[in-house]
Chain A
Amino acid sequence: MTTRTPPSDEELVALATAGDLDCFNQLVARWERPIYALAYRTLGREEDARDVVQEAFLRAFRGLRGFRGQAKFSSWLYRITLNLCRDWVRRERRAPVVQLPEGVDPVDVADQHVAPAESVEDLVARKQLSDAVARAMAELPDEQRVAILLKEYHGLTFQEIADQLDCPLSTVKTRLYQGLSVLRRRLERRQAEEASLRRATWESSST
C-alpha cells in the first residue's frame, strides 16, 4: 500500500496563488500553532498574539503573489510575524509583558501536558519555573530574545536566524550566548531566593 505524502508548503502556495483558497486554509492549519507560539512568546499577551497571527496570515495571503519562493514559506511567515510583533510593541509603546495564566489547576495541567508520573509538587514547581522563564525572557533585549525564541522553540539554524534578523552569523551566536547567560543568572538568582524563602518559612514555623 502506498501512502500519499501531504503536499509541501511550496506546492500549497502555488495552488493558493492560482486561486485555490482551500490550499491557503491548509497552510494556515499547518502553521498557525508555531506562529501563535512565536507571537505569544514575543508579546506575552494572548489577545495580542491572536491579533498578530490573524494579521500575519492576511498579509501572507495578500502578498502570496509577491512570494516567489526565494525563501522557505515558513521563513517568510516568520519574518512577517516578527515584523508585526515589532510594530506592535512600538505602537503600544511598551515592553512585552508576561501574562501569568490565572488559577492554574495542576490536575488539568497534568492531564494535558505532563507525563503522569510527575507529582503535584513537581507540577507546581514546573509551572513556577515556566513563569520565571517567561519573565526572564521578557526582560531580555529584543534581539537576544528573538534569537533564542527562533532557536529554542522553532528550531531554526544559525544561518536561518541570521537571515531573519539581517545580521551576520557570528552576531546570532553572540546574541544567543549573551541571552542564555543572562537568563541563567536570573534563573539561578530566583532559585536562591526561593531556597532562602523556604528556609525562612521552615524556621518561622518550627519556632
Chain B
Amino acid sequence: MCDQRERLIGYVYDECEPGERAQVQEHLESCATCRTEIAALRSVRDDLQTWQIPDHESVWRPFAPAPAPAWWSQVPRWAVAAAAGAVIVSGAAGGALASAVMSRSQPVLAAAGVTQAGPVLTHRDLDELERRIDAKFQAEVNQLNGRVQLAGSRPVSPDVEATLHKTFDTQLLELRATSDRQLDVINGIYNQLGQIQKGFDTRHALLANDVKGLQQLVLSPGR
C-alpha cells in the first residue's frame, strides 16, 4: 500500500512543504492508486462546497453611542450655588426645637435622603432660569423676525429665497432642539424639587414626633 497521506493532503490543499510538490507530482505519474486518491479527495471537496448555511438575520444588537450627560450636569452653576444656600435657610427654620433633638435627627435626615450633597433648587431659582430662557428665546425670535422683514421688503430672487427658507428651517430646528434640551433640564429640576419637598415632609414629621416625645418626657407628672 502506498502511504502518502500527509503529502497528498498538502498537495490537494496546495500547502506542500518546500520542494514537496514536485516530488508528489513525480510520484503521481507512476502511481495510479494515488492518482485515484487525489481525484476522490477533490471530488469530496467539491461536494462539501454544496453545503450552504441558511440565511439569517444579525443576532447582534449594536452598542449604542455613549449616553448623554445627566441633566444635573447641565444645570448652571449659579443655580446650584443658590440652591445650596436655600437648604441652609430652610434647615434653620427648625429653630431651637431642632437643635434640642439634633443628635437623634441627624441619622434620620440621612435616611430621608436630604443631606447637603447634590444640587438642590428653590422656586425662585427656577423662576430666574425660566426668565432667562424666555429672554433668550424672545431674542432669537426677534432676530428671525427681523430677517424675515428684511427679506420681505424688497424683491428677492428664487435662489436667495430658497437659501433664506433653508436658513430659517435650520434655525427653527436648532431653536426647537435647544428649547427641548432646556425643557429637559427644567423637568429634571422640578423632579428634584419634588424629592426635596418629600424629604422635608418626612423630616418635619419625624421632628414633630421627636418633639412630642420630648414634651411627654419633660411634662410627664411621674418625673
A interface, CB within 8 angstroms of B: 21-22, 24-25, 28-29, 32, 36-37, 40-41, 46, 49-50, 53-54, 57, 101, 112-113, 126, 129-130, 133-134, 137, 148, 151-153, 157-158, 170, 173-174, 176-177, 180, 183-184, 187
Contact = CB atoms under 8 A, between A and B. Distances in A.
Nearest to A126: B50
Given A170-B6, A173-B10, A183 B48 contact: yes
Contacts of B8: 177
Interface of B: 5-6, 8-10, 13, 15, 40-41, 43-45, 47-56, 58-60, 62-66
Nearest to A158: B15
11 contacts: A28-B58, A32-B58, A148-B48, A152-B45, A153-B48, A173-B5, A177-B5, A180-B44, A183-B48, A184-B41, A187-B47
A164 to B, nearest CB: 16
A137 B52 CA distance: 13
Given A24-B63, A177-B5, A177-B9, A152 B48 contact: yes
B66 A21 contact: yes
When A and B form their complex, which 6 residue pairs have the shortest distance between CB atoms, in order from nearest?
Answer: A21-B63, A25-B62, A130-B50, A133-B51, A184-B44, A173-B6
A46 B9 CA distance: 31
A50 B66 contact: no
A104 to B, nearest CB: 10
A28 B62 contact: yes
Given A177-B6, A180-B41, A40 B54 contact: yes
A22 B65 CA distance: 7
A37 B49 CA distance: 13
A177 B41 CA distance: 8
B111 to A, nearest CB: 37
A40 B55 CA distance: 11
B5 A37 contact: no
Of B5, B43, B47, B66, most A-chain CB atoms within 10 Å: B47
Contacts of A137: 51
A112 B56 CA distance: 13
A40 B51 CA distance: 11
Contacts of A173: 5-6, 9-10
A114 to B, nearest CB: 10
A146 B55 CA distance: 22
Contacts of B63: 21-22, 24-25
B47 A129 contact: yes
A73 to B, nearest CB: 16
A187 B46 CA distance: 12
B53 A184 contact: no
A151 B54 CA distance: 20
Nearest to A178: B5
B60 A152 contact: no
Contacts of B53: 36-37, 40-41
B54 A184 contact: no
Contact of A53 (B6, B9, B59): B59
Nearest to B66: A21
Nearest to A26: B62
A173 B40 CA distance: 16
A169 to B, nearest CB: 9
A11 B91 CA distance: 56
A170 B9 CA distance: 10
Given A130-B51, A173-B6, A184-B44, 10 more contacts: A28-B62, A57-B60, A113-B52, A129-B47, A130-B50, A153-B48, A176-B9, A180-B44, A183-B48, A187-B44
